[in-house]
Amino acid sequence: MVKKIVIFACLLIIALDITAGILGIKAEAAQNQEKHLRLWIFECKEPSHDAFVLGVAAATLLFKRSFQKHLLASNCQWQALCLPGSYWLLAWGCW
């Protein structure tokens, strides 16, 4: 029974990661659709409210995922399994 709960929790964490990634991509696309301003040597885009809302939703999902991961990883064996995944996601997000 415990293994089924752990597997379900891992699948839930993966689903939250995928959803947050999709929301992040949509936020970037919404920001890229905004008007491009150029003033002398400065270039910028107007901030997009939709991009902000999508970004906050993605950050909230990632926070929930991190909280669940730490609850699941209270056992040292699970923590050893979850930690490399966190670094991989961090590297992939910064890329």
Burial of 5 (0-12, 13-18, 19+ CB in 10 A): exposed
pLDDT in single tens digits along all 95 residues of the chain: 777 877 887 788 888 888 888 998 998 888 888 777 777 777 777 778 888 888 888 888 888 887 777 776 666 666 666 666 666 666 666 55
Query: What are the angstrom distances between the C-alpha of 79 and each of 1, 6, 11, 36, 90?
Result: 20, 12, 16, 45, 16
Angle at 92 between CA 10 and CA 60, to 5 degrees: 55
Burial of 61 (0-12, 13-18, 19+ CB in 10 A): buried
Domain layout of the chain by residue ranges: 2-74
